Chain A
Amino acid sequence: MIGRGLAIVWAQRAMMLSGLAVTAEIVAVSAVLALALGLLLFVLVVRSRGGPLAVAISWLIDLMRCVPFMLFCYLVYYGLPYCGVLLDGLSAGIFALTVYNAAYFAELLRGSWTALPREQIEAGSAFGFHGWRLIRHVVLPPVVMNAVPMLGNQMIQIIKDSAFLIIIAVHELTYAANEVQATFYVPFASFVAAIVLYWLLCLAVEGGVRAMVGRAEVRR
């Protein structure tokens, strides 16, 4: 019976693979945007250390980290039209994943920055680096490199959270698996196939992180 299910899922592989492609696209786009936004938030917090802006941003980051992603996704999808912004499911999903994970990325970078030896930054300013150049050339490189494993973990979280977008009818992998199971009644094979594909995506991210850490070790 499972053999029959697997055969059906294999016959529907175009559907499953298009779901996988949508999931990969959503994850890639929102991870890049979230990292950029997270970096921006982090830099703002560092530059206005202790100032009202830093306090406000830290407060927002802490708040975001207490919200379930699915609820945030609903709020974005149903709330943005009230603000005059009309987005389709896919754009709303990418927007939600980006903003939500930017908070986590910023927090991870802040953690990495706190662990950075102060002497390194002091040496940088002793060499005449100030303001933006200090951040760009002295602070950011080690902060980002040291955070790579944590950023990779968060990217796996993005992969997993992307499945929530089924609720706003984004045609991602879980949606595709659900369509296949509903049409042919092969729940076991279709969801197991989806899980295996998610697993492969996550293993690819883990492999990428390991390669980056390895290269950083060589350069050190």
Chain B
Amino acid sequence: MDRADLLSLAAGALGTLAVSFLAIVVAAPLGLGLALIRWARIRALDPLVAILVSALRATPAVTLVLLVYFALPTVGLSLSRFAAAVATLGLGSMAFNCEIWRGVLLAFPAEELDAARAFGMTRWHRFRRIVAPQVWRHALPALANEMTLLIKVSPAVSVIGVVELTRAAVRIGATTYAPVPPFLVALAFYVPVVGCIVALQRLLERRYGKLAA
């Protein structure tokens, strides 16, 4: 491995961070939205969301990224590799975020909701003023854990040729005929990144209590 190889590994690491970060940004609001649909028991949508979330949670990221990248063009929606990668990781993470939010929403004390209702608060008002300010901190540890899962599954997008760290390592290994060193460099990137988020998760758990999910 020479200097150019290390540079391409660094570029790959940036790719991994970019894809993961954008996927988190996409997944967080969508997951919360789906959880709210289920929480509010909106009649037509609730079972659809339940089925979608159940299927997405069972879908391997590799299979999903192949579906998104190769199948969407057949229905007239062509995504770039990078967009397909973000969409895939975002969809998977959205399903897990939905379950996390649903868990904390279901654990919310019914008495407080009844009290809010007795004060004549509308559904949106109850969520905005009573529920949201209290539940978000209980969701944080699980959301941090989901972030580590997302980073660990992000190499899946390399199967469609997105430039990210694992793919960069594979390509260097293929040209130098020494595959192990670039993988060890990649390892030295993933472990501290994921390790930091795990440490953050433990801190959040200590501060806000573990989620009973």
- Chain A interface residues toward B at CB < 8 A: 1, 62-63, 65-71, 74-75, 78-79, 82, 156, 159-164, 166-167, 173-174, 177-178, 181, 187-188, 191-192, 194-196, 198-199, 201-203
- Of B60, B63, B75, which contacts A188 at CB under 8 A? B75
> Quick check: A203 and B180 within 8 Å, CB to CB?
no
Query: Which residues from chain B contact A187 at a C-beta distance below 8 Å?
Result: 66-67, 70-71, 74
- Of B63, B170, B179, B191, which contacts A67 at CB under 8 A? B191
Interface residues in B53-101 by Cβ distance below 8 A to A read 54-55, 57-64, 66-67, 70-71, 74-75
Query: Which residues from chain A contact B180 at a C-beta distance below 8 Å?
Result: 75, 78-79, 82
> Quick check: B179 and A74 within 8 Å, CB to CB?
yes
Query: Which residues from chain B contact A188 at a C-beta distance below 8 Å?
Result: 67, 71, 74-75
Taken together as a complex, chains A and B put the C-alpha atoms of A67 and B187 apart, in Å, by 7
Query: Which residues from chain A contact B194 at a C-beta distance below 8 Å?
Result: 65-67
CB distance from A47 to the nearest CB of B (A): 25
Interface residues in B179-212 by Cβ distance below 8 A to A read 179-180, 183-184, 186-187, 190-192, 194-195, 198
> Quick check: B58 and A199 within 8 Å, CB to CB?
yes
Query: Which residues from chain B contact A1 at a C-beta distance below 8 Å?
Result: 74
> Quick check: B54 and A71 within 8 Å, CB to CB?
no
Size range of the interface on B? 35 or more
Taken together as a complex, chains A and B put the C-alpha atoms of A110 and B55 apart, in Å, by 30
- Chain B interface residues toward A at CB < 8 A: 54-55, 57-64, 66-67, 70-71, 74-75, 148, 151-156, 158-159, 166, 169-170, 173, 179-180, 183-184, 186-187, 190-192, 194-195, 198
- B-side interface mostly: helix
Taken together as a complex, chains A and B put the C-alpha atoms of A82 and B173 apart, in Å, by 14
> Quick check: B195 and A199 within 8 Å, CB to CB?
no
Query: Which residues from chain A contact B74 at a C-beta distance below 8 Å?
Result: 1, 187-188
> Quick check: B155 and A199 within 8 Å, CB to CB?
no
Minimal Cβ-Cβ distance residue in A for B75: A188
CB distance from A27 to the nearest CB of B (A): 11
Minimal Cβ-Cβ distance residue in A for B189: A71
Taken together as a complex, chains A and B put the C-alpha atoms of A79 and B186 apart, in Å, by 14
> Quick check: A162 and B173 within 8 Å, CB to CB?
no
Query: Which residues from chain B contact A67 at a C-beta distance below 8 Å?
Result: 152, 187, 190-191, 194
Taken together as a complex, chains A and B put the C-alpha atoms of A74 and B159 apart, in Å, by 13
> Quick check: A70 and B156 within 8 Å, CB to CB?
yes
